[in-house]
Amino acid sequence: MTDISPPEVKPKKTKNFVQIADCKSQFHRFFNDPEAGIFVLKGPFGCGKSEFVRRTILKEEEFANSFKFSAQLSLFGGKDLNTVEEEIIGSLRVGKKGVKTSHIDEACNFLVPVLKSLAALKGGVGLKDLIGGMKLQISAKTLFWRLANQLGFLLVIDDVDRKEPELKLNQVLGFTSSLVEKTERKTKVILIVNEDKLDEREVWDALREKFVDFEFRFHPSPSELAYEYIDSVNLRGPIAEIHEALCSPNIRTMLKIESHVKNLTKFLADKGIEMTGDQQAYAVSYASLFLGAGKDYVLADLCGAESRAYNYFDSLQGDSESEASVRRSNLGVRKQKTEHFDRIYWDIVLFKFFSDGTVDGETLDSLKKSIPAKQKQEEFSEHEKKVYRLLYCSFRDTSTDLIGEISQGIEEFPEFYSTGKVESVSGIVRAYGNEKGALELWKKWLNARGPDAFSNIRITELHSIVPQECHSLIPPLDSKDLDQVNPLDVFRKAENPEVFFDSDTDYDALSQKTPEEWIVFFESMTIEEEAEFESFPQAVREVVDDAGKGKSRATIAKNLKEALRSLAEKTPLNRFRIGKLFPDLFDEKK
């Protein structure tokens, strides 16, 4: 017979967050109510219920006078009340220190003969008259409940929803209610539960009115959780941001991320690498995806792992497509904040550390080598900001300062000033009437780049762009290289279609380049050459995708793919970066 029962529907996530201050107020009312005995703190998985009780109720000064001693236990895997009672006694805490059951027993064994002697001195007064009817053998359990009957005792029972089926809810509620009544409500009980996961929900709903005095649904926003419970000041903001983007107020994950990133920061510091705030923020995002993916990726599978992690996270949420779309959009905005530093080197470091707990020397060396270039790029970014402020953020006459800053930037960062950028800034200077200043910028740039910086194809292009007055500074064509084509030019063309490139002859010339020659070319590129491109990997991707246009372009794409496959086999880092750019490259037949 076909099962036609409706599919299980996941409970819809609620977004109506509460304030932690409201929860504190409810607990103050509970402790101040002499008739109240049992408080149920409920909420979804990972929302921070247990963390709130541990850090706030049990440790903050404002609740210090509400109880004299406490005990906290988890019902996870609990099967019978005897075990529960033993665990309660074993977890007894007075102030911030725990008291072991064995210590109580030792004290009791010492007290019994003392009490017997005292009874004899009192003229035959029975020991039972002195200690309230107890037998001569005093145990930790007996003394414990006597203390609970006389002093303010707080019992916290966590994970009520994760007990074993053998332990029934009516037993748990009956036990806690009996404890409260026997101690004339000097004992207070907090039950921590995720109601959606209870296996006896009907029993719970039927008994709660009889036994439960206070309830509170604990569900603070991700930001409030992070700023309340994340100790690392510099990590609170990034952790709050990524969890707001993921719509996930999960304190367990937040604390794991904090621990991972703190350990990573210390590990790299010991290796001589200091993480910046931006790099720590990116590590937070990466750790959240790594932990949320629920999978143990191997290095070769990391390519595309970021998107797979998003998809897997979506599948766990039970959200509508619109909610999932909002989260992906949030993550996209979050990613943009870290685009200004080289994530390729960091991705592999982060993955190795989070999965293996360490990073090999070769990977660390690759990261170290990338840092000076990135630092120079950051310095150039600061220079660009100064130029922008002098140009658009003032009504003073900043023309002299503007020329000075651009000139200094060209001298310090000639490799970051492309032909187009020089043309742009010189055009601005010319636009407000300083023709001489515009020409000086071209002269500074050509002198700073030197005669060996340009290929024949670029030299030809410069004659059509550089002002006539500066043509004498353009290097002459290299007769030995007249029949050669600079491979960089095809990538420049892919990135910017307006760049001059003779497709009738140059594509044919590049199609003669073998995979081995392409490998030599890629490995010999300088930092300055790589810095010319906004996105060099994407330019390579565009050239490979040109295969569909056939003829020489198809040959170039074929040879490039073979070269990339060979490069990927040389180092794990190459395997990672090439696989991320060309996820289908290794599925194709060579």
The answer to whether residue 48 scores a pLDDT higher than 70 is yes
State the pTM of this model.
0.51
Q: Which of 179-183, 255-259, 326-330, 582-586 reaches the highest mean pLDDT?
A: 255-259
The answer to whether residue 69 scores a pLDDT higher than 70 is yes
pLDDT tier, 455 (very low <50, low <70, confident <90, very high otherwise): low
Residue 528's pLDDT is what?
64
87-101, 154-168, 293-307: segment of lowest average pLDDT = 293-307
Residue 335's pLDDT is what?
46
Residue 407's pLDDT is what?
93
pLDDT tier, 153 (very low <50, low <70, confident <90, very high otherwise): confident
The answer to whether residue 23 scores a pLDDT higher than 60 is yes
The answer to whether residue 219 scores a pLDDT higher than 60 is yes
pLDDT tier, 495 (very low <50, low <70, confident <90, very high otherwise): low
The answer to whether residue 338 scores a pLDDT higher than 50 is no
Paired sense of beta strands 69-74 and 93-94, if any = antiparallel
The answer to whether residue 366 scores a pLDDT higher than 90 is no
Angle between helices 435-449 and 419-431 (to 10 degrees): 160
pLDDT tier, 3 (very low <50, low <70, confident <90, very high otherwise): very low
The answer to whether residue 248 scores a pLDDT higher than 80 is no
Residue 305's pLDDT is what?
38
Residue 267's pLDDT is what?
93
Report which of 242, 247, 249, 250 is spatially closest to residue 332, judged by C-alpha positions.
242
Residue 74's pLDDT is what?
86
Task: Please count the other Cβ atoms lying within 10 Å of the Cβ belonging to residue 349.
Answer: 23
The fraction of the chain above a pLDDT of 70, given in percent, is 69
- Mean pLDDT, the chain, rounded, equals 75
Residue 334's pLDDT is what?
46
Tens of pLDDT, residues 516-563: 988 888 887 776 667 666 667 777 877 877 766 667 888 888 888 898
Tens of pLDDT, residues 296-325: 433 333 333 344 444 444 444 455 555 555
Report which of 250, 73, 248, 86 is spatially closest to residue 162, judged by C-alpha positions.
73
The answer to whether residue 265 scores a pLDDT higher than 80 is yes
- More confident site: 500 or 233: 233
Give the whole-angstrom CA distance, residue 171 versus residue 523.
71
- More confident site: 533 or 410: 410
Give the whole-angstrom CA distance, residue 211 versus residue 36.
10
Residue 263's pLDDT is what?
93
Give the whole-angstrom CA distance, residue 312 versus residue 289.
10
The fraction of the chain above a pLDDT of 90, given in percent, is 10
230-234, 296-300, 408-412, 513-517: segment of lowest average pLDDT = 296-300
pLDDT tier, 160 (very low <50, low <70, confident <90, very high otherwise): confident
Angle between helices 305-317 and 277-293 (to 10 degrees): 60
111-120, 168-177, 396-405, 425-434: segment of lowest average pLDDT = 111-120
Residue 113's pLDDT is what?
61
Paired sense of beta strands 187-193 and 153-158, if any = parallel
Distances in Å between the alpha carbon of 178 and those of 5, 39, 171, 181, 406? Answer: 42, 15, 10, 5, 81
User: In this structure, what token pair is assigned to residue 290?
Assistant: 């790594």
Contact yes or no for 39/30 (Cβ under 8 A): yes
Eight-class DSSP state of 570: T
Q: SS3 breakdown of the chain: % helix, strand, coil, rounded to 5?
A: 65, 5, 30
